[in-house]
Structure 1
Amino acid sequence: MTTQTDCKVPPAPLAETVTLDPEGAAELAIGFKALADPNRITLLTLIAAEETGEACVCDLTEPLGLGQPTVSHHLKVLVDAGFLTREKRGTWSYYSVVPGALEHLFNTMTERTAH
């Protein structure tokens, strides 16, 4: 079975139009996987909205309705993906949003897949 198209110019092979290498794809996948959970999106939003620009785990459990271990896990995923930084102060850890991290993720995707 063949499919007819009205296109008179043959399309360029995908390899010529997409410049995303395996390493770039892996980098993007880590970022998007970290953002794939609604709780993590909420955490980023809560931390970004803090007047001080940072939040402690103890400040984040109640708004999410989750326990401290679960919130800590989500925060670790966001730190590992490069969206948050973690600063230890005594027994507490404080988290801040990395400026431009989300923009970098989307710019990386659009730059590497530009036609």
Structure 2
Amino acid sequence: MPRTRDLPLLKPEGDWCCPPLTERPLTAEEAERTAVMFKALGDPVRLRLFSAVASHQGGEACVCDISDVGVSQPTVSHHLKKLREAGLLSSERRGTWVYYRVEPAALAAMGALLTQAAAT
């Protein structure tokens, strides 16, 4: 069985991870891939960090601007790493600072997953 961090949010062919939950039951692989996203967001500190990045002006945030979440800097780094491993954030080092962006495909995939399937 693959480790959860080895399961990309997007399939190799570029499709979203999973259909809307109301469309059909998820396959085992789809459930594993989906669980990675939600497990990463299941921690209140990670959810706050993800929200801080997603809502930051310009669509990206320096770690120096989002690290005030009530835990130590090493703990912030750990949580940001978990969000990156889940495919929810990407990062870029610029000098001594690291800047984070929400992966648009991840946000779209989560939204699509939780959307009511269209009636036919």
Instruction: Report the identity percentage.
Output: 49
Match of residue 58, structure 2, among 37, 52, 58? 52
**How high is the TM-score relative to the length of structure 1?**
0.69
RMSD of the TM alignment (CA)? 2.2
When the two structures are superposed, what TM-score results if normalisation uses the length of structure 2?
Answer: 0.67
Give the corresponding residue for 2:45: 39
Partner residue in 2 for 1:85: 90
- C-alpha displacement at 1:81, in angstroms? 1.0
Partner of 2:72 in structure 1? 67
Write 1 or 2 for the structure with the bigger share of helix: 1
Moved beyond 6 Å, runs of 4+: none
SS in 2 for 1:82: coil
SS of residue paired to 2:58: coil
Q: Give 5+ residue unaligned stretches, structure 1.
A: 1-16
Query: Secondary structure in 2 aligned to 1:52?
Result: helix
Distance in 2 (alpha carbons) for counterparts of 1:55 and 1:105:
21
Q: Which runs of 5+ in 2 are unaligned?
A: 1-22
Q: Which moved more, 1:94-103 or 1:24-33?
A: 94-103
Q: CA deviation at 1:108?
A: 4.2
Length, aligned pairs only: 94
